[in-house]
Every structure is written in C-alpha cells, then in structure tokens.
Amino acid sequence: MKPVMYAATGLLMPALLLAGASVTASDVHDLPSPTSVLEAGLIDISGERIGTVTIKPLATGLSVHIAVEGIAPGPHGMHLHQAGRCEIEQSFATAGSHLAGEGHAHGSHAGDLPNLIADASGNARTQTTVESLSLTDIIDSDGSALIIHASGDDLQSSPGGGAGPRIACAAFTAGNHT
C-alpha cells in the first residue's frame, strides 16, 4: 500500500470549499476549525518570540489577529509580505515586498494593513480584516509573512510608507497550520 498524504488535503479543503459558490455564511461556521486557522509566532530581530499572529478565513477575505509584547509604544507599519521567511540574519529582508494583489502602489496593496498601535507598555492586541486575500494566497508555494516595522506607515509613500526597519516577523507556510 502506498502512503497517502492526507495532511495537505486537509489543509486545502476548507479554502476550496470557501471558493465554492454554494457555501453560505452559516456553512462557514460548520467547517472544521482546526484546518481553517493559521497561527504563527512573531519573532523579533534577535529571534526571540514576542507574539502570535492568527489568520482565519471569512466568507470573503481573512480575519487577521495580532498580539505582540515589548515593542516601542506608538504606531508601527504592518504588512503581509510575499514570502514566508523570517531570517534574522537577513533582517527579515527575504520575506520580500508587500503582497500586492491588484494594488500597484503602496497604500493599495492587498497586504497593506492598518498601523499597529502599541500602548505605553509596548503591547498591542488587535484584529483587522483583509477583504481581497484568501488562505490560499497566504500559504501559496512560498508562503507569506506578517511583518511589523519600527515606525508608523503613512500608507502612501513608496515603497514602505516610511515605516523603517522590519522589527518583527511571523512566517506562514503550508507546514504551520494548526
């Protein structure tokens, strides 16, 4: 008997179901949640774990939840980047640029998220909705990464809205779904 790779099938199935025209909003709640939620640890530039990012599919788009501790108070640019690589030796540069979708300029990229606002203690916990991406965009062949930057993003100027260095990274690949 040949071994069969059920893991990959289990991962892709909910996303394929969501793409089907017959799936309604109430059906979404009936999908097996373990295979439709992605979770990844956020690491800082020294490789220390400082938070968690969770991505859940919606009927249209994705819900992204971010929890992070110990960053500088105030606004931080935050984006979904093209590759699921968080290499501290490369200062997270190998995660590539922003997931673009149909957007051609910074501020209209699918991966451009609202600024993350850390409180006076440097902690932040927030949720945002990304309407134009699906789970299959996140865990495509090279995965995706959520990156937090040192400074606020004006969501206008290219390439990165003045958000500065990449200070935290969470990598999503086909292997780290929960």
Which residues sit at the interface with Zn ion, rule CB under 5 A? 98, 106, 109, 112
- Tell me how far apart the alpha carbons of residues 150 and 78 are, in angstroms, rounded to a whole number: 9
Question: Where in 98-137 is the site for Cu ion (CB under 5 A)?
Answer: none
Distance CA 150, CA 163 (A): 6
* Residues ≥6 apart with Cβ < 8 Å to 166: 45, 91, 92, 93, 95, 147, 148, 149, 150
In the complex, minimum distance from the CB of residue 109 to Zn ion, in angstroms, rounded to a whole number: 4
The least distance separating Cu ion from the CB of residue 21, rounded to whole angstroms, comes to 34
Q: Could you tell me if 128 and 64 are in contact, meaning their C-beta atoms sit under 8 angstroms apart?
A: yes
CB nearer to Zn ion: pick between 76 and 98: 98
Give the interface segment with Cu ion, choosing from 49-57, 117-125, 131-139, 143-151 (CB under 5 A): 143-151
The conformation of residue 60, written as its DSSP 8-state character, comes to S
* Contact pattern for Cu ion over residues 45 through 84, marking x by CB under 5 A: ----------------------------------x-----
